[in-house]
Structure 1
Amino acid sequence: MVHKKLERATRKTQADGRIPAISAALVRADRPGWFIQVGTAGDGKTLAEDTQFRLGSVTKTFTAALILQCRDAGLLELDDPIGKHLSVPAHGEHTIRDLLAHRSGLQREPHGDVWDAQVGPDAAQLLADLAHAERVLPANRRFHYSNLGFALLGHLAAAKRGGTWEEVLTQYLLQPLGLTDITVQPRRSAATGYLVDAYSDHARPEPATDTGGIAPAAQLWGSAANAATWAAFLADPATVDPDGAVLSADTLAEARQPHSISDEATWASGIGLGVMIEPQGGRVLHVGHYGAMYGYLAAAFGRIGPDQPAGLGAAVLGSSGTAGQTMELVHELLKRSATDDPGDIPMWTPAGPVPEEHRPLLGRWWSEGFGFTFSWHDGTLQARGDRAPKNAPPAVFQQVGPDEFRTVSGREAGESLLLVRDTDGTVGAMRWAGYLVTREQDTPLVGP
């Protein structure tokens, strides 16, 4: 039943948006994949599951992943200025992190009328022209989208790996993940992109721009099936790359942390390290990216949050550069899949006894008049505040010393939890992130 709803939503988008061809895909770890194509690929070509469309700025998520791989390999640090690793005539002071998060203040496009000319500069010319580029805003002032910034990041990753951007992209991302339908140059069978006339049903083919040195920001072509798999990887990498061979789950969680807000008035969307973050309510997020090029629109997002199906990703690719419905549909597909076909509920099973040394820590505690419940689950000490939302994750602790724990996730992540013992050796209080935690709601004085 849910697949019929997904199909109907896609067909309605194609008809209402007047999109010559649309390809949509949805993948999740606990169900078979779902794919649909509606329309015509143009020029007598067959529209199929592996038909390529222009991905546009979805490309940026791949470039961001290459940079994060370089960081994890010890080749750079995110807070390094880009000029430390890439020879540039200007703007070398911008940090890699700020470029990833679109907060460097660097101008949006490379120098010159590259989009009017439909021909991008080569890599050498793009770097040389950086001398003519402006910093249009102070660094860290606000979100400011920059294709130029991401082009620089792609050439940085290529330089650190000793190849071209296309070579390192293929070697380090596309081949390991089996994304064979994502390529830098289009196949002959790729769908034709169109400009659909606003006042008639005429569709005019658009030129297939080669972005040249801007490629790391917008060049890729791909199928909806591969783009949906990539989106699932960004959201829940363990389902696509269980060994963490491409990127660790921790690194992608870091990438999904908001670094800037793209609309400071509504806070409706944010930017992490190269990924867009779209809140859906109820602590659910869609993470991925949109793409737009002449004749094409694209969207690839994964869904994460409490009680959401594992490895859920979707992509919608269309061959019209003006149908905004293409970008809206991806969110509808994800939501319908999660709500109309929720994941299976895992069975609870009993566990072994709590380690004897941790039993005295369980139960009710108080800090600043507010209650906390400390418990033992999944082999870890955990804590949940009385006022925490029901679906918020608990604080999770890892023991690092005889009387010391470290908060590894949740509330006060990174902070210490210190046990304070009475004269008889029992734990009479704790200090969490510098705050006293006691068994009674009143706050007694305790020793050091």
Structure 2
Amino acid sequence: MAQRVQAEARVPALSAALHRADRPLWQVQVGGAGPESQFRIGSVTKTFTAVLALQARDDGLLDLDDPIGHHLDVPAHGDLTVRRLLSHTSGLQREPYGDVWDTLLAPDADGLLAELDKAERVLPTARRFHYSNLGFSVLGHAVARLRGGTWAEVLEDRILRPLRLAATTVQPTGRAVTGYLVEAYSDHAKPEPPADFGGVGPAGQLWSTAADMARWAAFLADPAAVDPGAEVLTPSTLDEMRWPLATTDEALWGTAFGLGLMIFPQGDRIVHVGHGGAMPGFLAGVYGRRPAPEGLGDGTPRAMGCAVLGSSGTAIATTELPHKLLAASVEEDPADIEPWAPGEAAPQEYRSVLGRWWGEGFEYVFFWRDGALRARDADDPPGRPPATFAPVPDRTDVLRGVSGREAGELLRLTRDADGAVVRMHWATYRFTRDQQSFAGE
């Protein structure tokens, strides 16, 4: 598959890698690439900047709804929030002031911020998705200053070193390949000029290898498997980053953005998360496949990520190939299915909850699994994750939904004189053992 893309899309050097927890790393290089070859990964860099921003939030240094002006002295647009910058819904223009793609001369960090008053807000804030390299650059410098360093220093300290991404660098190394424009009507490949994007670095500066990027993609999809100690970011925060906040097209809901991550639905509750990247002479696709939801059993292994890096700026097949490789890996070499094993019994106080209940005229099943009370609509397909509840401290017979349907809402239990649960209220809706109208009949 990779060889076909390299030949048909005419990519001078192509490197692909697929990471999964249950198999050795798979790699292939075609053309002028080797296993250690570095490629420019362009906007995949934004996923690193986004993780740095969420780290800062988790450490109490910022709130996602803080205006960026609380953390940076800027001459304009200081009211834009961190959340809007992360999700590309700020309305800020795409690029820094000036014709940086004509000159390939980007401002440094101070210059970029000083000229922010020359940048337009081309759309009303929160109106719709509008991609902005400028917005991500501002965000990266804000996070760096909160940490007391440059963006490059903070990136190395807080992500690259902990995740052992040693081949990922801000500047190219001696193993960097040349990027090309491959002419449309001949086989001539023109080398693209190297460019340092300075203050725009948090949006697209990084260089890396396919192996490093496959590991990074696996982290974005399944952080608990790649970073079990949550040294970089907790799984719950990655869940938050992966939640779709804006679709990229109002009519074709095929791609969405969360907090700095692109989300591509694959059908049957499977999604690929990550980012594509483009710089002069280079294209990159870096995506992870989420582990299968409970009960789906689609064959997706833990820590699954794929990266395809190419040295042609026009071979769009490079960015499409990771999705095909991820799907093919699951189809042709599915993860082993773990055998079922008996679990612990439900605690005595919840045993009378188990079984079928009716609410709003519909039937639900409540059950105990993996140490938690759970519930699902009786007609739910097997792959739909159930609602999961956790007891509310210091409130007897009150639980809160922590995931799934009605997450965040309360489940209140009502018992009879013998202590058996005879009625429940979930998000204030009454649940009974038999089907009843809203009048209780």
* Fold shared by both chains (TM-score > 0.5): yes
The Cα shift of 1:387 comes to: 2.8
Q: Within the alignment, does 1:168 sit opposite 2:154 as a pair?
A: yes
Matched, 1:82 2:68: yes
The structural deviation recorded for 1:97 is 0.2
* Alignment of 1:315 onto 2:307: yes
Partner of 2:220: 234
Counterpart mapping for 1:20-39 below 5 A: 20-39=12-31
Q: Which of 89, 97, 110 in structure 2 is aligned with 1:103?
A: 89
Aligned partner (choices 334, 345, 365) of residue 357 of structure 2: 365
Conserved 8 A contact 2:36-2:175: no
1:260-299 CA distances to partner (integer Å, 9 max, x unpaired)? 1111111000000000000000100000000000000001
SS in 2 for 1:244: coil
Write the deviation string for residues 86-124 of structure 1: whole angstroms up to 9, x where unpaired. 110000000000000000000000000111111110011
Q: TM-score, normalised by structure 1?
A: 0.95
SS at match of 1:140: coil
Q: Distance in 2 between matches of 1:352 and 1:61?
A: 40
CA distance in structure 2 between the aligned counterparts of 1:190 and 1:257, rounded to whole angstroms:
34
**SS of equivalent to 1:102:** coil
Aligned residue in 2 for 1:333 = 325
Q: Is the aligned partner of 1:385 residue 2:377?
A: yes
Q: 2:229 aligns with which of 240, 243, 267?
A: 243
Partner of 1:346: 338
AA partner of residue 6 (structure 2): Q
Distance in structure 1 (CA, Å) of the matches to 2:127 and 2:439 = 44
Match of 1:420 in 2: 414
Q: What letter corresponds to residue 95 of structure 2 in structure 1? A: E
Q: Where do residues 393-432 of structure 1 align in structure 2 (5 Å cutoff)?
A: 393-400=385-392, 401-422=395-416, 425-432=419-426
The superposition leaves residues 156-184 of structure 1 with CA deviations (integer Å, 9 ceiling, x where unpaired) of 11100000000000000000100000000
Relative to structure 1, is the Cα distance of residues 382 and 118 closer, same or farther in structure 2, using a 3 angstrom cutoff?
same
1:264-343 alignment, distance < 5 Å: 264-304=250-290, 305-306=292-293, 307=297, 308-343=300-335
Q: Give the drift of 1:145.
A: 0.1
1:183 is matched with: 169
State how far apart, in whole Å, the 2-side matches of 1:131 and 1:50 are: 42
After superposition, the C-alpha distances for 1:287-338 in whole angstroms (9 at most, x for unaligned) are 0000000000001000013332111000000000000010111100000011
Counterpart secondary structure, 1:59: helix
One-letter identity of the residue aligned with 1:327 = T
Q: Residue 199 of structure 1 corresponds to which residue in structure 2?
A: 185
1:351, 1:424 → 2: CA distance? 27
How far the C-alpha of 1:426 sits from its partner, in A, is 3.2
Q: CA RMSD in A?
A: 1.1
For residue 444 of structure 1, report the CA deviation from its aligned partner. 6.9
Q: AA paired with 1:378?
A: D
Q: Distance in 1 between matches of 2:208 and 2:77?
A: 32
Q: Tell me what 1:3 maps to.
A: none
2:244 paired residue number: 258
**1-structure distance, mates of 2:419, 2:350:** 14
Q: CA deviation at 1:208?
A: 1.3
TM superposition shift of 1:425: 4.3
**In 1, Cα distance between the equivalents of 2:113 and 2:344?**
60
In 2, Cα distance between equivalents of 1:411 and 1:219: 40
8 Å contact from structure 2 (residues 13, 29) kept in 1: yes
Q: How does 1:9-88 map to 2 (within 5 A)?
A: 9-40=1-32, 47-88=33-74
Q: How many residues are aligned here?
A: 432
Which stretch shifts more, 384-393 or 193-202?
Answer: 384-393
Separation (CA, whole Å) in 2 of partners of 1:445 and 1:418 = 19
Distance in 1 (CA, whole Å) between partners of 2:157 and 2:419 is 57
The one-letter amino acid paired with 1:355 is: P
In structure 2, what is the equivalent of residue 433 of structure 1?
427
Q: Which AA in structure 1 matches 2:402?
A: V
Q: After TM superposition, give the deviation of residue 423 of structure 1 in Å.
A: 5.2
CA distance in 2, matches of 1:378, 1:443: 33
**Stretch of structure 1 that moved more, 344-353 or 390-399:** 344-353
Q: What do residues 37-68 of structure 1 show as CA deviations (whole Å, max 9, x unaligned)?
A: 0001xxxxxx3211100000000000000000
* Amino acid across the alignment from 2:255: S
Runs of 4+ in 1 over 4 A off after TM superposition: none
Which amino acid letter does the alignment assign opposite residue 204 of structure 1?
Answer: K
- For the residue of structure 2 that corresponds to 1:429, the secondary structure is strand
Distance 2:22 2:152 in 1: 33
CA-CA distance at 1:427 after TM superposition: 1.9
